[in-house]
Amino acid sequence: MDKDKHKKLIKDFPKSVVKPAPKGKFGDYVPHHIYTQRLVDVIPGEYNFFYEVIRGKDNSIVGAKCTLIIEGLGTVDEVGDVDMNALNRNITESELLKLAVSDGIKRCCMRFGIGLELWTGGITEEEHYASEKKTQPNAVKPPSVPVKSDADKSQDSLSPAVKTKASSASQDSSNPIKVLQDANFSTKDLNHPNGKKAIDEDGLWCPCGTKVNYIPESQKTSAKGPDFRCSAMGQCEVGDVVDGKRFAKSWWIVDYKKETPKIWSYYVQALNGVVMPTAKGMDDIKEGEAPF
């Protein structure tokens, strides 16, 4: 894509299409069809958009995994949410899907720098609203773990080991290796998928060489916020670049990009008091004794 076209693509939306935030809501916004119009106007035939429906436990639509491909710029995946109010409003499936997909389109566009000026600190009006709702007792929990790959499913089937109320391991998180060992998790693979160190006695590590913070649910500022974030923030050398701005590398426990080290998920399980059943070493097993 040439410079001129790219400039047109990510140009700030004109004030005339920016709608003020509805009362009690956060941030001005641009309706999703204006985003689509931008793509149609500037790069007709040079983009592709598709989505997969995400359903909740009760089979209702809770989101959509959206994919936007722009020729010469690449591919982004984002999960579009359904507004919490909509879930409570008893609207039709197709309306729910429309909400999720239109949110997803905006998120995908943002990743390419379109409408970026409307996002404050990486939080959308939808996210802000969702996190407000989260504190209300009857709010529907947003799908913070929406997309499950086969790998994640197999992981789930391994996890319901022995749950303890509060294991001694969960009290001390300063040495992740000890936390893992105390909960009987394997500490064989301590690396990122690319082979860089992901965890050691001192903490969790970003491929850029900086410490990674684990962000428990209770400390998240938004429902869809990452579970792990590189502490180098804007200086992180492996973070995504959006419109020339660099963001800290972030990871989610349920991760359809398969970037999150398995060992981190084990670490979080251990912190939450999950203890794996121990298998005795073959040498320790006496005749007639069960290996567990």
Nearer to Zn ion, 133 or 249 (CB): 249
| 27 CB neighbour count, 10 Å cutoff | 16
Q: Under rule CB under 5 A, which residues in 19-58 are in contact with Zn ion?
A: none
Q: Under rule CB under 5 A, which residues in 215-254 are in contact with Zn ion?
A: 230, 232, 236, 249
Which residues are 203's β-sheet partners?
200
Nearer to Zn ion, 236 or 271 (CB): 236
Place of tokens 């080991």: 161
Which stretch in 76-84, 86-94, 209-217, 281-289 sits in contact with Zn ion by CB under 5 A? 209-217
Give, rounded to a whole angstrom, the gap between the first and last alpha carbons of the chain. 61
70: phi then psi, degrees, rounded to nearest 5: -120, 125
Contact between 100 and Zn ion per CB under 5 A:
no
Nearer to Zn ion, 54 or 206 (CB): 206
Q: How far is the CB of 209 from Zn ion (least distance, A)?
A: 7
Enclosing H/E stretch for 162: strand 162-163
Contact between 208 and Zn ion per CB under 5 A:
yes
Q: How far is the CB of 112 from Zn ion (least distance, A)?
A: 22
Nearer to Zn ion, 95 or 240 (CB): 240
- Helices 32-42 and 93-111: crossing angle, nearest 10°? 50
Q: How far apart are CA 91 and CA 231, in angstroms?
A: 41
Q: How far is the CB of 210 from Zn ion (least distance, A)?
A: 5
Nearer to Zn ion, 173 or 213 (CB): 213
Nearer to Zn ion, 206 or 274 (CB): 206
Contact between 206 and Zn ion per CB under 5 A:
yes
Compute CA distances 2 → 7, 43, 117, 246, whole Å: 9, 11, 22, 22
Contact between 105 and Zn ion per CB under 5 A:
no
C-alpha torsion 184→188→189→191, nearest 10: 100
Residue ranges that bind Zn ion, judged by CB under 5 A: 206, 208, 210, 230, 232, 236, 249
